[in-house]
Structures are given as C-alpha cells and as structure tokens.
Amino acid sequence: MSKILLVVGARPNFMKMAPLYFAMSQAEGIEPAIVHTGQHYDYAMSQAFFEDLELPEPHHYLEVGSGTHAEQTGKVMIEFEKVLGADEPDLVVVFGDVNSTVACSLTAKKLHVPVAHVEAGLRSFDETMPEEINRRVTDAISDLLFTPSTDGDENLRQEGANHTRVRCVGNIMIDSVVTILSRISAAQEEETLRQLDLPPRDYALVTLHRPSNVDAKDSLNAILRYLNTLAERIVVVFPMHPRTRKNLARFGIDTAFNKGFRIIEPVRYREFITLQKNSRFVLTDSGGIQEETTYLRLPCLTLRPNTERPITVTQGTNELVDMTNVAEKSDQILSGNWKEGAVPPLWDGRTAGRIVEAIEEFAGAGHLQ
C-alpha cells in the first residue's frame, strides 16, 4: 500500500486536490491523506470549499495562518516536518504555486520523500510575483512533474528538467469544474442569481487580489474608480478577497460607489462557478479563473502584465489588459466583439485519472525511490 500525502494550503489548491483525492481513494494500493497547512483559514476561503467539493476533513491541519512570506513558509515547514516524521509517506503531492506548495516540497525532499507537483511548468517569467519563485523552486526539486498543457513541458525542458519525469496530463481544475457543473441544477443557478440580485448574463464578475494590483493605494484606487464607472453601464459584482478588503480599509479608500457596483464577501465554489457561467465577462488577476473562463468559453480580461497561462490567451478567451486599455477592451466585449476561443487539449475532466495512472507507472519504473 502506498501512502500518499496531498498537500493544500490556500483557496486555489482545494479544487485541484479534490479530484485526485477521489481518484486515489478508488485506486487499488493507494492510501491518500489530506494535509491542510491552514494558509487560508477563513470559513469562506477554506471550509466552504471542502464542503462544496464533498471532501472529508483534512487528516492533518497545521494551522499556520498568515504572516510574512518567510514566516508563513517557515511555519509550514516546521509543522509539515512533524507530519512526515509521524506518517512516513511514500509520496507527497503538492499543487499550484502558493507558499504552502514550495514549503512542503522543500521539507519532503530534505527528508528524501519523493514529491509530485501538479500544475508544473507554468511560468510568468516575472520574478516580482511570489508565485513565480514558488513555481520554479518546486519544479526544480520535484520528482514527478505533471503539466496542464504542453507549453509547461517546453518551459521545463528549457530549464533542463529530466524529461522522463515530465508528463502532460491536462488541467486538473477542469475536473472539478465538470463535476460541480453536473451538481448545480438550473433552479439552483437561478436562486444564486436571485439572492445576489444579478441579471442573468448581464453583469461583470470581478476578482482582484494580486499584490501588484491591491497592495498600493494608487493602483487599488484607480482600479476601483474604473469599476465604478463601468458599473454605470453594467452591474459589476466583486467578491472581495480578504487581502483586498484589508487594503481598502488600511488605505482609507472612499467606498461610496454607484448602485451597480456591488462588493460582496468571497463566495463559495459552487456559487463562484455559477457566477462565472452566467456573467457577461470576467475581470480578474487570478491564475485559475483565466483557465475556468477559457473552459466556459467566456470573455476574460486579466489585469496583469503577464500570465503563466499563455494558452488561455493564444487558444482561449483571455486577454491581458492594463489600466490604459481596460475600458476599450470591456467596450469591445460589451459590443459583442470577442474571440470564441477553444478548449485546450486534455482539459476534459479526466486529468486526475491520468495522474493516478502515471504515478503507478512511475512507481513501477522505480522513479519513486
């Protein structure tokens, strides 16, 4: 029996882990266990996702909470080392690019426990993003590298990764989108929109939390002023990340907004997928939402100078924008003039099964010793 620890810490990890947990639970000879570092700890940022994804309680909860990057990374390492000592797993699986991802892969490798990275190979080539450092370090030390698209394989090849350890398996987040969509009825969709008083397909959905957008008063203020103007033309709904909300208060930004501009609390997973599916377009700085909108074939504007997910631009419905062209691009979408996009290969809801098969194969080839 192989004991495999699946590590999650922050909101975007949960929907990547869930399909793999269920696929491993059904596989013969694999015993998966969930480790939650507690990087995200609010009910709305964490437990609500476990509920919607029908996950069990984490087997280990490390309660690290927030802090500076060093504090958060350090605390995760100290606590995760104790779990590794007690559980003696055969493999640790980490997801995405958050601080918990790099902290747990480092800790495991130093104790000679093999590491698999799901969502390997993504690069923004922007080292001012903490996530880019997390991606590069995690990929450099992981034993198995599971990429969502072939551009990831190419990035890893350029960095000299051992190609026998790289496998393009597709996008695991889409597995969760497919599952949750099958569980949301038309009546439930209507109810979510009714509760938030949103006209179907006639509102813009906004999420922003990147330090580059929200950690300086001027940029956050400029973005909010723009959204307030946009709200004169179309309802704007903004489920606000705790980081953004804290900064709004800290900077003392005027929040007397137009009636059409609705700032709400972060919403749970099933509500967020419903909100995306029924929106006219999405404005975001998230990584995962660029992918979800590409899968849903919904126009997406990403307020960032770069993306680690270029396939969402070259094949999907996404475009990068800045404050000089966001109004023009929004107008273009509102006038019905936007690319249709295509869903990239292997974004088909079956990635978790491919990962399980690959792990069994790698283990058979002796790559996990």
Task: Give the residue numbers annotated as catalytic, written as ranges.
Answer: 209
- State which residue, 97 or 291, has the beta carbon closest to ligand UD1: 97
Range 282-301, binding ligand UD1 (CB under 6 A): none
- Dihedral angle at the C-alpha atoms of 186, 191, 193, 195, nearest 10 degrees? -170
Applying CB under 6 A, the site for ligand UD1 has a residue count of: 19
Judged by beta carbon, residue 10 or residue 108, the one nearer ligand UD1 is 10
Q: Which is nearer to ligand UD1, 41 or 281 (CB)?
A: 41
Residue 45: CB minimum distance to ligand UD1, A: 3
Q: Which of 25, 42, 201, 314 binds ligand UD1 (CB under 6 A)?
A: 42
Which residues within the stretch 142-201 sit at the binding site for ligand UD1 (CB under 6 A)? none
Tell the smallest beta-carbon distance from residue 220 to ligand UD1 (Å): 13
How far is Cα 167 from Cα 152, in angstroms, rounded to an integer?
10
Q: Is position 10 an interface residue for ligand UD1 (rule: CB under 6 A)?
A: yes
Please give, one letter per residue, the 3-state secondary structure of the chain.
CEEEEEEECCHHHHHHHHHHHHHHHHCCCEEEEEEECCCCCCHHHCHHHHHHCCCCCCCEECCCCCCCHHHHHHHHHHHHHHHHHHHCCCEEEEECCCHHHHHHHHHHHHCCCCEEEECCCCCCCCCCCHHHHHHHHHHHHCCEEEECCHHHHHHHHHCCCCHHHEEECCCHHHHHHHHHHHHCCHHHHHHHHHHCCCCCCCEEEEECCCHHHHCCHHHHHHHHHHHHHHCCCCEEEEECCHHHHHHHHHCCCCCCCCCCEEEECCCCHHHHHHHHHCCCEEEECCCHHHHHHHHHCCCEEEECCCCCCCHHHHCCCEEEECCCCHHHHHHHHHCCCCCCCCCCCCCCCCHHHHHHHHHHHHHHCCCCC
Taking the complex as a whole, how short is the minimal distance between the CB of residue 51 and ligand UD1, in angstroms? Answer: 15
As measured in angstroms, the least distance from the Cβ of 289 to ligand UD1 is 10
Between 288 and 349, whose beta carbon lies closer to ligand UD1? 288
Q: Which of residues 63-122 bind ligand UD1 (CB under 6 A)?
A: 66, 97-99
- 45 is an interface residue for ligand UD1 by CB under 6 A: yes
Residues in the chain: 369
Query: According to CB under 6 A, which residues from 212 to 241 bind ligand UD1?
Result: 241
4 lines the binding site for ligand UD1 (CB under 6 A): no
> How many angstroms from the chain centroid is the CA of residue 131?
11
| 39 near ligand UD1 (CB under 6 A) | yes
Q: Is residue 130 within the footprint of ligand UD1 (CB under 6 A)?
A: yes
Which range, of 7-15, 289-297, 322-330, 339-347, touches ligand UD1 by CB under 6 A?
Answer: 7-15
Mask: binding to ligand UD1, 190-209, rule CB under 6 A, as x and -? -------------------x
Question: Per CB under 6 A, does 242 bind ligand UD1?
Answer: yes
Q: Which is nearer to ligand UD1, 45 or 141 (CB)?
A: 45
Per rule CB under 6 A, is residue 11 in the interface with ligand UD1?
yes
- Cβ of residue 97: shortest distance to ligand UD1, in angstroms? 6
Q: 200 or 305, CB closer to ligand UD1?
A: 305
CB of 25 to ligand UD1, least distance (A): 26
**CA–CA separation, 220 vs 255, rounded Å?**
12
Residues of this chain that bind ligand UD1 (CB under 6 A): 10-12, 39-42, 45, 66, 97-99, 130-131, 209, 241-243, 246
